[in-house]
Amino acid sequence: MKQTIRSLVIFAIGASAILLSSCGMSSRSSSFAFDPPVKKPNNPSAVKVHISTGAGKLYVTEGNEVLLASPIGVGTSASPTPKGNHRITSKTRHRRRQGNPGAGYPMTYWMSFHSAAYGMHWGFVKPYPSTHGCVRLPLNTARKVFDMTRVGTPVNVATSQPWDSTIGAALPRLDDSSLPNPPDSYMQSDKVFADHEKGKMWIFN
Tens of pLDDT, residues 59-108 = 999 999 999 999 999 999 999 999 999 999 999 999 999 888 889 999 99
- For the cut 70, the answer to whether the pLDDT of residue 26 exceeds it is no
Contacts of 20 (CB under 8 A, 6+ apart): none
Residue 203 confidence class, pLDDT cut points 50, 70, 90: confident
- For the cut 60, the answer to whether the pLDDT of residue 9 exceeds it is no
- For the cut 70, the answer to whether the pLDDT of residue 161 exceeds it is yes
Mean pLDDT of 107-125: 95
What is the structure's pLDDT at 140?
97
Q: Per DSSP, what are the bridge partners of residue 157?
A: 51, 84
What is the structure's pLDDT at 1?
43
End-to-end CA distance of the chain: 44
What is the structure's pLDDT at 109?
98
CA distance 163 to 117: 28
What is the structure's pLDDT at 31?
96
Burial 180-198 (b: 16+ CB within 10 A, else e): eeeeeeebeeeebeebbee
Residue 22 confidence class, pLDDT cut points 50, 70, 90: very low
Q: Sketch the domain layout of the chain as residue ranges.
A: 44-176+183-197
CA distance 29 to 63: 31
pTM given for the model: 0.85
Mean pLDDT of 11-30: 40
Q: What is the DSSP letter of 127?
A: S
Give the residue, 20 or 105, on which the prediction is more confident.
105
CA distance 110 to 127: 21
CA distance 144 to 70: 11
Cα dihedral 135, 140, 141, 145 sign: positive
CATH number of 44-176+183-197: 2.40.440.10
Q: How many CB atoms lie within 10 A of CB 19?
A: 10
Q: What is the DSSP letter of 31?
A: G
